[in-house]
Amino acid sequence: MLGLVFLGLAMSRYGPGPGLLAAYLAGVGGNLTAWAVYGESHRGLGASGVVMGAVGLVAVQSATLWQRHRPNSFRLFASGLFAGVLLFVLVGMSPEADVVAHLGGFITGLLLGGLLALTPRLTRQPWVNLATGVVFAILVILPWWRVLA
């Protein structure tokens, strides 16, 4: 349930298509991180990496405040980032969880959120929302189609 909240917040901040695609790609980043650390024998679904990626996307969204040269901009950015790290520790580091995949998803979410925060006007364009939504749908449908075929 917490994942739906953070995914909704990321989609609200960056737009439905870009937020959903970025969270999905953060899950991919989490799986790639786990694969790089554990090797090919590791199997993971990646849904928790998407959740941690959404936490990273929301944590770094205050980066746009830093660009506006406000007096408290660094403090606001740092407090948002610190809150995201605390949420990662609280939610993503339970003993039975795949902490490496969670960390990879969180860091990928931070990076993608930072890139999206640099282009706030672009992510709000209807054609960008549609294009990223289509890319997300393709990235979900093709692997399932391949597995089931």
Q: Which residue reads 């093709």 in tokens?
A: 142
Residue 39 confidence (pLDDT): 82
Q: Taking the complete model, does pTM exceed 0.75, yes or no? A: yes
Rg (CA), the chain: 16
35-68 pLDDT per residue, tens: 899 887 777 776 888 999 999 999 998 777 665 6
Residue 46 confidence (pLDDT): 66
Lowest-pLDDT range, 7-16, 39-48, 93-102? 39-48
Residue 46 backbone dihedrals phi, psi, to 5 degrees: 100, -5
Ordered by start, the domain boundaries in the chain are 2-148
